Copies of this chain bind each other. A is one copy, B any other.
Amino acid sequence: MIKKINIGLLGCGTVGTGVAKILIENKKLIASRVGAKLILKRIADIDIKKDRGIVFDDGLFTKDAREIVSDPEIDIIVEMIGGKGIAKELILKAIENGKQVVTANKALIADQGNFLIKKAEAKGVDLAFEASVGGCMPIVKTIRESLVGDKIKSMTGILNGTCNYILTKIGDDGSTFKEALKQAQSKGFAEADPTLDIEGYDTSHKLAIISSLAYGMEINLDDIYTEGISRISSIDIECAKEFNFKIKLLAISKNRGSTVEARVHPAMISFDNLVSSVNGSMNAVEIIGDAVGSMVLYGHGAGMMPTASAVVSDIVDIARNLLFNITGRIPILSYQSDKMSNISVLPIDEIHTYYYFRFSVLDRAGVLAKIAGILGAYSISLKYVTQKGLQSNGSITIVMFTHLAKEADVKKALSEISFLDVVTDSPVLIRIEDDLEEEKEEE
């Protein structure tokens, strides 16, 4: 008799429908790989009559999600509702009932993951969330399984398709941020309220999750420095290009031994780094391990079917364990729970990195000397300085690239500079992500 695993789907919106589509339309294919039938037994959604373009068996739908999490026939609960309210309540109930749980809910995992995971571990069930980071890119699996022998040194990624689409658009045709955002919204790459994406919070959620997995620390969302892309202009993208850099919204995390850097902000990244070639709504992450060296994963970071594909991979992973009556084969946060460390996130003021500055100043003798003098006083040394032509307001533009400098020093220096009477606009600061340079300076 062929074995069966019963699945209950909570929420049949975009991604939920994608999951149903794969489970139904690729049913035979999946069975031929898994050696068991994965049966989509129940679906809960407020809209049970909508045409979702799939032929469902009769009686699958209910409006009552609680009915499904309490159904003794259901083995795996797939939470596709989103948000931190009812989704959390249902996941907790499912765990209590001894069910395995799969979710793509990055906000919930980033915010409440530590609590939910402890509950799951105490009950001896699995909680999987591959689709919560990077859509279809198998980041969670790669960190937890493929790099299990590696000390992970850093992760640098583009983890938000909306921001990458907008930055690509500004770079391609000189759109303003507002124009590019509007275009992203009309193409369906940005929500009506895009705050979560463009202010970098969505990226922070994802970085908090993968940093935890990589370094064996609890998920720590609050300490991640987060800066969005709304102040990026085509001028800076052009300046970056002249020096062989692209500007991307990067999620950056670095293992600094007893601390970790974890930050999200626009950054310049060298053309030589494959991540700089990732355009439009695509996502990518570079992971550097002590054995593996540099590795990049690239794919659709969102979207109905790519995200659904990742959800199904989680369902199958759990199903494969259930077929052998096992759970907890791999610790949910990658490390055994008694081996998690108390690693703290380095405050942004403490980091050392490279900087790009752009100043608008009056075209007068001695201006450059004044600015350079202040930077020098804060031990910020310069690699390149260029002066650009006149702006419409009569100011000129000075662009600078620094050697390694400390964020706190940079902030103080820029604050002083902004008070100079020859400075006509707020200075622009963009951090530069350049591992190769860093290694050279460390030598």
Q: Is the Cβ of A306 less than 8 Å from the Cβ of B330?
A: no
Q: How far is the CB of A68 from chain B (nearest CB, A)?
A: 21
Q: Is the Cβ of B145 less than 8 Å from the Cβ of A313?
A: yes
Q: Is the Cβ of B300 less than 8 Å from the Cβ of A298?
A: no
Q: Is the Cβ of A312 less than 8 Å from the Cβ of B149?
A: yes
Q: Is the Cβ of B299 less than 8 Å from the Cβ of A296?
A: yes
Q: How far is the CB of A271 from chain B (nearest CB, A)?
A: 9
Which of B33, B149, B291, B308 makes the CB contact (< 8 A) with A334?
B33
Which of B295, B310, B317 makes the CB contact (< 8 A) with A298?
B295
Contact with B along A12-39 (1 / 0, CB 8 A): 0000001001110010011011110000
Q: At the interface, yes or no: A147 with Cβ under 8 Å from chain B?
A: yes
Q: At the interface, yes or no: A141 with Cβ under 8 Å from chain B?
A: yes
Q: Is the Cβ of B136 less than 8 Å from the Cβ of A295?
A: yes
Q: How many copies does the complex hold?
A: 2
Give Cα A151–Cα B30 distance, bound, in whole angstroms.
9
Question: What residues of B have a CB within 8 angstroms of the CB of A34 in the complex?
Answer: 148, 336
Q: Is the Cβ of A336 less than 8 Å from the Cβ of B35?
A: yes
Could you name 15 residue pairs across A and B whose Cβ atoms are closer than 8 Å?
A26-B149, A26-B151, A33-B336, A34-B336, A136-B146, A136-B295, A146-B310, A148-B313, A149-B308, A149-B309, A292-B300, A293-B306, A297-B297, A320-B330, A324-B324
Most chain B beta-carbon contacts within 10 A, residue among A149, A297, A306, A331: A149
Q: At the interface, yes or no: A186 with Cβ under 8 Å from chain B?
A: no
Most chain B beta-carbon contacts within 10 A, residue among A137, A309, A339: A309
Q: How far is the CB of A102 from chain B (nearest CB, A)?
A: 12
Question: What residues of B have a CB within 8 angstroms of the CB of A22 in the complex?
Answer: 149-150, 291
Chain B minimum-CB-distance residue to A216: B32
Contact with B along A189-225 (1 / 0, CB 8 A): 0000000000000000000000000001000000000
Q: Is the Cβ of B136 less than 8 Å from the Cβ of A292?
A: yes
Q: At the interface, yes or no: A426 with Cβ under 8 Å from chain B?
A: no
Q: At the interface, yes or no: A98 with Cβ under 8 Å from chain B?
A: no
Number of interface residues of A (CB under 8 A): 64
Q: At the interface, yes or no: A277 with Cβ under 8 Å from chain B?
A: yes
Q: At the interface, yes or no: A7 with Cβ under 8 Å from chain B?
A: no
Question: What residues of B have a CB within 8 angstroms of the CB of A138 in the complex?
Answer: 138, 141-142, 145-146
Q: How far is the CB of A171 from chain B (nearest CB, A)?
A: 15
Q: Say yes or no: A278-B274 contact (C-beta < 8 A), given A33-B331, A313-B147.
A: yes
Q: Is the Cβ of B296 less than 8 Å from the Cβ of A296?
A: yes
Which of B30, B278, B295, B331 makes the CB contact (< 8 A) with A148?
B30
Q: Is the Cβ of A291 less than 8 Å from the Cβ of B305?
A: yes
Q: Is the Cβ of B335 less than 8 Å from the Cβ of A33?
A: yes
Which of B18, B30, B274 makes the CB contact (< 8 A) with A277?
B274
Known: A146-B310, A149-B312, A297-B297. 6 other contacts (CB 8 A): A35-B331, A136-B146, A136-B293, A141-B141, A148-B316, A295-B297
Q: Is the Cβ of B329 less than 8 Å from the Cβ of A306?
A: no
Which of B274, B289, B300, B317 makes the CB contact (< 8 A) with A274?
B274
Q: At the interface, yes or no: A303 with Cβ under 8 Å from chain B?
A: yes
Give Cα A312–Cα B151 distance, bound, in whole angstroms.
13
Chain B minimum-CB-distance residue to A279: B272
Q: Is the Cβ of A292 less than 8 Å from the Cβ of B296?
A: no
Chain B minimum-CB-distance residue to A340: B32
Question: What residues of B have a CB within 8 angstroms of the CB of A303 in the complex?
Answer: 293
Contact with B along A128-155 (1 / 0, CB 8 A): 0010000011100110111111110000
Q: Is the Cβ of B300 less than 8 Å from the Cβ of A293?
A: yes
Q: At the interface, yes or no: A60 with Cβ under 8 Å from chain B?
A: no
Which of B216, B294, B295, B309 makes the CB contact (< 8 A) with A150?
B309
Q: Is the Cβ of A292 less than 8 Å from the Cβ of B306?
A: yes
